[in-house]
Structure 1
Amino acid sequence: MTSTHAVRFAAVGLDHAHIFGQVAGLIRAGAEFVGMATDDPSAAIATRLREQYPDVPVAESPEELLGRDGIDLIVTAAVPDRRASIAITALRAGKDVVTDKPGCVSLEELEEIKKAVDQSGRFWSVTFSERFEVPSVMKAGELVREGKIGTVVQTIGIGPHRIGDRGHLGGGAGRPDWFYDKSRYGGILTDIASHQIDQFLWFTGARTAEVVASTVGNFANPDEPGLQDFGEILLRSENAQGYIRVDWYTPDGLGTWGDGRLMILGTDGYIELRKYVDIAGRDGGDHLFLVNQEGTQYIDCSKVQTTYYADLVRDVQERTTSAAPQEHTFETMRLALKAQQQATLRGAAK
Structure 2
Amino acid sequence: MTSSQPIRFAAVGLDHAHIFGQVAGLLAAGATFVGMATDDPSAAVAGTMRERYPDVPVIEDPDELIAQDGIDLIVTAAVPDRRGPIAVAALRAGKDVMADKPGCVTLEQLEEVEKAVDQSGRFWSVTFSERFEVKCVVKAGELVREGRIGTVVQTLGTGPHRIGDRGHLAGGGGRPDWFYDKARYGGILTDIASHQIDQFLWFTGARTAEVVTSAVGNFANPDEPGLQDFGELLLRSGNAQGYIRVDWYTPDGLPTWGDGRLTVLGTEGYIEMRKYVDIAGRDGGNHLFLVDKDGTHYIDCSDVELTYYSDVLNDVRNRTATAAPQEHTFETMRLALTAQQNAAVRGAAQ
- By the TM > 0.5 criterion, same fold? yes
Q: Kindly indicate whether the alpha-carbon contact (under 8 Å) linking 1:6 and 1:32 is maintained by their aligned counterparts in 2.
A: yes
Determine the structure 2 residue equivalent to 1:52.
52
Tell me which residue corresponds to 1:251.
251
Structure 1, residues 105-147: CA drift from partner, whole Å, max 9, x if none? 0000000000000000000000000000000000000000000
Displacement after TM superposition at 1:154 (Å): 0.1
Whether the aligned pair in 2 keeps the contact of 1:269 and 1:293 (CA below 8 Å) is yes
Q: CA deviation at 1:3?
A: 5.2
Superimposed CA distance per residue, residues 168-213 of structure 1 (whole angstroms, 9 cap, x where no aligned partner): 0000000000000000000000000000000000000000000000
Q: Deviations over 1:57-100 (max 9, x none)?
A: 00011111100000000000000000011000000000000000
**Residue in 1 that maps onto 2:93:** 93
Are the equivalent residues in 2 in contact too, given 1:79–1:184 (CA < 8 A)? yes
Matched residue type, 2:60: E
SS of 2:125 mapped into structure 1: strand
Secondary structure at the aligned position of 2:30 is classed as: coil
2:264 aligns to what SS in structure 1?
strand
The alpha carbon displacement at 1:4 in A equals 4.0
Q: Take 1:251 and 1:305, find their aligned partners in 2: how far apart are those partners?
A: 31
Which aligned pairs between 1:106-255 and structure 2 lie closer than 5 A? Answer: 106-255=106-255
Q: Percent identity?
A: 81
Q: What is the SS of the residue equivalent to 2:280?
A: coil
Give the equivalent residue in structure 1 for 2:268. Answer: 268
Deviations 1:220-258 (A, max 9, x none): 000000000000010000000000000000000000000
Deviates more, 1:295-304 or 1:82-91: 295-304
Distance, in Å, in 2 between the alignment partners of 1:177 and 1:42 is 13
Give unmatched runs, 5+ long, in structure 2: none
In the other structure, the counterpart of 1:37 is: 37
**Matched residue SS, 1:227:** coil
Q: SS of 1:324's equivalent?
A: coil
Q: What is the CA–CA distance in structure 2 between the aligned matches of 1:325 and 1:50, rounded to whole Å?
A: 33
Determine the structure 1 residue equivalent to 2:77: 77
Listed as ranges, the matches of 1:300-319 within 5 Å are: 300-319=300-319
- Say whether the 8 Å CA contact 1:285–1:302 is kept in structure 2: no
2:19 aligns to what?
19
Stretches of structure 1 lacking an aligned partner (at least 5 in a row):
none
Q: CA deviation at 1:303?
A: 2.8
Q: Is the 1:4–1:317 contact (alpha carbons within 8 Å) kept by the matching residues of 2?
A: no
**Post-superposition shift, 1:2?**
6.2
Q: Relative to 1, partners in 2 of residues 1:153 and 1:2: Cα closer, same or farther, differing over 3 Å?
A: farther
Equivalent pairs counted in the alignment come to 350
How many Å apart are 1:302 and its aligned residue?
A: 2.6
Residues of 1 paired with 2:155 and 2:87: CA distance?
A: 31
Partner of 1:65: 65
Tell me the secondary structure at the aligned position of residue 250 of structure 2: coil
The letter of the residue matching 2:315 is D
Secondary structure of 1:232's counterpart equals: strand
Letter paired with 2:232: E
TM-score, normalised via structure 2 length: 0.99
1:150–1:269: 8 Å Cα contact kept in structure 2?
A: yes
Please report the TM-score for the alignment, with normalisation by the length of structure 1: 0.99
